[in-house]
Amino acid sequence: MDVKLDPSRDDLPLMANTSHILVKHYVLDLDVDFESQVIEGTVVLFFKSRNRLKKQSTSTREMCGSESNEACRVSSPEPCSSPVTTTGTFSSDMGWNDFVICGKGGKDTAGKDCHHDNREQASGVSSSKHCCGTGNHGSEDFVLVLDCCDLSVLKVEEVDVAAVPGVEKFTRSPQLMVVPEELRNQIVHELVTLPAYCWREQLDYYALCSQAPGCGELLFDTDTWSLQIRKSGVQTATDFPHAIRIRYRTKPQGRSVMWTSDQSGRPCVYTMGSPINNRALFPCQEPPVAMSTWQATAQAAASFVVLMSGENSARPAQLQEGCLSWHYYVTMPMPASTFTIAVGSWAEMKLDTCPSSNLETESSFSPSEADFRYADVCGHTEYPCRFQSASAATQAIIPYRVFAPESLKGACQETLLQLIPLCLSAAHSVLGTHPFSRLDLLIVPANFPSLGMASPHIIFLSQSVLTGMRHLCGTRLCHEIAHAWFGLAIGARDWTEEWLSEGFATHLEDVFWTQAQQLAAHKAQEHQELRACLHWRRLQDEVQNSPEGMQVLRPNKERTGHVSDSGSSVIRHGLNPEKVFMQVHYLKGYFLLRFLARRLGDGTYFTFLRRFVHTFHGQLILSQDFLQMLLENIPEERRLELSVENILRDWLESSGIPQLLPDQLVLLLEHLLEQKTLNPRTLQSLEKTYLLPQQDAEVRHRWCELIVKHKYAKAYRDVERFLLEDQAMGVYLYGELMVSEDPSQQQVARRCFELTKEQMDRSSAELVAEMLF
């Protein structure tokens, strides 16, 4: 089962067998030790098997809603014999009335293979050569496979959730047998399927169950990319323990977290957006289909602040002298790869005189319009959803906090703190309801490998955005805010379709930023056209200097979204170090969306985009989901040759830059005419990429202007051909050729005039003669 890959050139494996069993919730209890540069603790995983879905024995909704609604009361459950801190202990910005519960539509999964003895294993060293079958074939044990790398796994055990006081409310099934294993799995099943309006009590019971005693160690094995767990004699995912606890520790060189110092020289650690995601932080199911919720408690020395992906603005609790505990949770299911943590001596930044960060502004919708607009049932699996809340729909600026090393306080006050409310409000004006209820922003250490990274409820920004004018800070902030909708609330079902996140964020960053600056329409247009020109130059350069295979936005083509029978898959080029620095998914995606927005018209396109967000938030999509819905909104007469198949073929499944339509080429060439210099290699690439000599007269006219302006002698033949064959449009070019005062260009003009003057109408001939002589 050990998978040997060369990190310099191979794909990233997603090993978890999500087709048989799915993690529905994680409870992490972590101890952060800066002296050893190790995070040690436990993660408790609560599962739901695919087969159990088919034979659900009770109606959870009835259990939660019937009689006195006992199972959903917010009264605190009796404490366990082990000390436990429930979510109710901590401050939350999210109130009971913030949400209306959305309709269901969830997904399911699980199963693969292997076995091992219970002793610590260094990831990458397998002590077992005996692999078992997946699923329930024959008499082999079912094997749970989790994504895991660079971790020392110390112990895996089943959790005795039946020992939690008060949990009997989850055992009402009349068919329930007294077999302990079945009892425990039934309790977990009822817990993970509680309706969304029971979210507070559900989190409390997850916390209590995570502290319950173990009831038997499980066999496990590790290899380079995975942790395999089995229980002797258990042959199906349905019978496999539905709550397990894994005790483990990270390694200082683990690739999911970065141990470093901040700008003030103080130690810190943070998740860095590693290509291997979070599998070196905790064992998990990484395929995006494994949508889960989580809650996490982290302990660190009292001098440190812990930030995490969480709906609540955590306040520390003192465990013992010199040690604080921080607790965060999320109720919106998302892939485990989006979990983020940052621990350091961060200081909260505030303006000396500034509006409250809890500022809310008036919505452009009246309450009645907002209520009507958000009346539809959501399409995702059930969770407390802001898109069904009229108050959330009108909240233009969500609560936010800013953290950074103390040494960056002045820079944060001068730029970032002033821009956040503007950018949040601009995003809301374009896309509507913010998917997340709050936001933390952290200025990360100087070694952070990009300008920004968005995770649920938290954004990392590079210190580089704080210097100079506001433009870089504003555009990067808008880019990361856009990821709340595209990348987080709406994710790609196949991670090779990265453009669904980065292409949308790149397109929206310019739209948000012009809105945040409140530019007049013509100024906003000029700004976006200039940005398009810059993006074009960057894309063109990247296409010329990168492998063709890495320029394809949908490399799996018709097999995009497909996984093996077990649910495992690979991310194409996921471990290629070049990919981290490539912009093709950003820029090619940007130009596709710009092209589509132009085809519909900006007003129609952004109205559609709001509707798309409302339809697909909380779900995973493929490219065709977006394209199909978009094309349904384009009138037949404006579609021309557009189809899902053509767009997939020309834009997403081909390397290089797609062939543009004539009006787009005219616009592109006009942008390039505004540039003072273009080198011959760029002009040659344009000519070959877009077959410019073969385009219509409007396009060729702009192409000839570029040739003349930049004295591109290799293409003077195209100018001559235009002057001879397109006399109705060529008069202006004579003037350009003569004004250049370049002898070779003036010679082209005179030669062409001699050949055509007898055929020209008198007024044109006189005008040209005046230019030439």
Phi-psi region of 274 (alpha: psi -120 to 50; beta: other; left: phi over 0): beta
Contact 142, 230 (CB under 8 A): yes
Q: Looking at 158, 181, 480, 687, which residue is catalytic?
A: 480
Q: Is 40 a catalytic residue?
A: no
Q: How many other CB atoms are there within 10 angstroms of residue 117's CB atom?
A: 10
- Terminal-to-terminal C-alpha distance of the chain: 82
Residue 492 token pair: 């790609």
Contact 147, 279 (CB under 8 A): yes
Q: What are phi and psi of 215, to 5 degrees?
A: -135, 40
Q: How many other CB atoms are there within 10 angstroms of residue 185's CB atom?
A: 23
H helices of 171-321, in order, are: 180-192, 199-210
Give kind and range of the element (H or E) at residue 114.
Answer: none
Residue 639 token pair: 């579609």
**How far apart are the C-alpha atoms of 206 and 200, rounded to whole Å?**
10
Indicate if the alpha-carbon torsion angle 65, 70, 71, 75 is positive or negative.
positive
**How far apart are the C-alpha atoms of 166 and 540, rounded to whole Å?**
63
Contact 398, 313 (CB under 8 A): no
Q: How many other CB atoms are there within 10 angstroms of residue 743's CB atom?
A: 8
Q: Where are the beta strands (DSSP E) in 99-231?
A: 100-101, 121-122, 143-147, 151-159, 214-217, 219-222, 226-230
CA atoms within 13 A on the CB side of 680: 6
Residue the block writes with tokens 């557009």? 642
3-state secondary structure at position 311: coil
* DSSP symbols for 489-511: TEEESSTT-THHHHHHHHHHHHH
**How far apart are the C-alpha atoms of 306 and 316, rounded to whole Å?**
9
Q: How far is CA 653 from the centre of its chain?
A: 21
CA atoms within 13 A on the CB side of 46: 30
Nearest to 158 by CA among 128, 180, 179: 180
Q: How many other CB atoms are there within 10 angstroms of residue 674's CB atom?
A: 9
Nearest to 460 by CA among 338, 312, 301: 338
Contact 427, 481 (CB under 8 A): yes
Q: How many other CB atoms are there within 10 angstroms of residue 96's CB atom?
A: 10
List C-alpha distances in Å: 113 to 103, 236, 305, 386.
Answer: 35, 12, 40, 39
**Helices and strands counted in the chain (H then E):** 23, 27
**How far apart are the C-alpha atoms of 90 and 326, rounded to whole Å?**
9
Residue 380 token pair: 């995702």
Residue 747 identity (one-letter amino acid) = Q
Nearest to 588 by CA among 628, 535, 529, 666: 535
**How far apart are the C-alpha atoms of 609 and 433, rounded to whole Å?**
12
Nearest to 18 by CA among 109, 128, 153: 109
Q: Are strands 226-230 and 143-147 parallel, antiparallel or unpaired?
A: antiparallel
List C-alpha distances in Å: 598 to 274, 504, 591, 606.
Answer: 35, 15, 10, 11
Residue 507 token pair: 């397109």
Nearest to 197 by CA among 379, 45, 60, 50: 60
Catalytic residue IDs = 480
